[in-house]
Structure 1
Amino acid sequence: MELNSIKPAEGAKHAKRRVGRGIGSGLGKTAGRGHKGQKSRAGGYHKVGFEGGQMPLQRRLPKRGFKSHLLKFNDEVTLAQLQDLSVEEIDLAVLKNAGLVSVRALNVKVVKSGELSKKVVLKGIGATAGAKAAIEAAGGSIAA
């Protein structure tokens, strides 16, 4: 095979349709656009989703759901997860190293889920009222 002998597959290439080139072409005069109306005119056509003045589908349907972009920087940790950690002093870096929160997390909050029987000291981590009570009952504390 030589570069000068390469040809496209049979039927892959065909001549462009030349409209408005006389009656014998079958696409003369109106050039396949029919008579009158918005679709026959140059530059005249509706935008995507336009339904002739009827309320478009995307506006008829109710708006549903929203997820704040700020949520991806906030994370939660349970009391049961704190119980499994081997360290006593817990801060954001410890939780990230343990893989309990996202590396991108900026704020972490402890929620009351599970049991906590060991003493833990939270530094720079928030807690719900129930989680705070459970931590203090186990002899731990929450430092701001």
Structure 2
Amino acid sequence: MRGPTQHGSRTGWVFGVIALISLGGCMSSDAPWPEHGQGGLAEEMPTNIEPAITEEEFAKLKADVIFCGAEVDYLGRSALNDWYPALIHRLEMQQTLIERQFEGGFYFNTRKDLTRLQELLNIAKQTMQEIGKSEG
């Protein structure tokens, strides 16, 4: 009668041989892969892709992203940060998301999230006015 160690070592050996045979094809250097930095077949096919937005829309969107970023920075340095740090954190996270989407070329998502950020900025400004009234 065989013990569990004898059966286990044979199974391990068989799996090891199968793994070496399977991975042997991955190690060959004649694989038909493109050179480093070159694309595959998709880049060789002609395309007629239009830009997602016009230059004027791009300029306006970029200005909105910069302007909202400046407002978030201003509010982050204001007294609102002492009273409502979670709101400031939420504004900063939303601004970071917008900047990443804009840099990534996701202009539709950038517009949608800019609308959300502007709503949050309005809430923050109203809250700041209420703080000013209560302190004043």
Common fold: TM-score over 0.5: no
TM-score of the superposition, structure 2-length normalised?
A: 0.28
- Which one has more relative contact order, counting CA pairs under 8 Å at least 6 apart? 2
TM-score of the superposition, structure 1-length normalised?
A: 0.27
The structure that has the greater radius of gyration is: 1
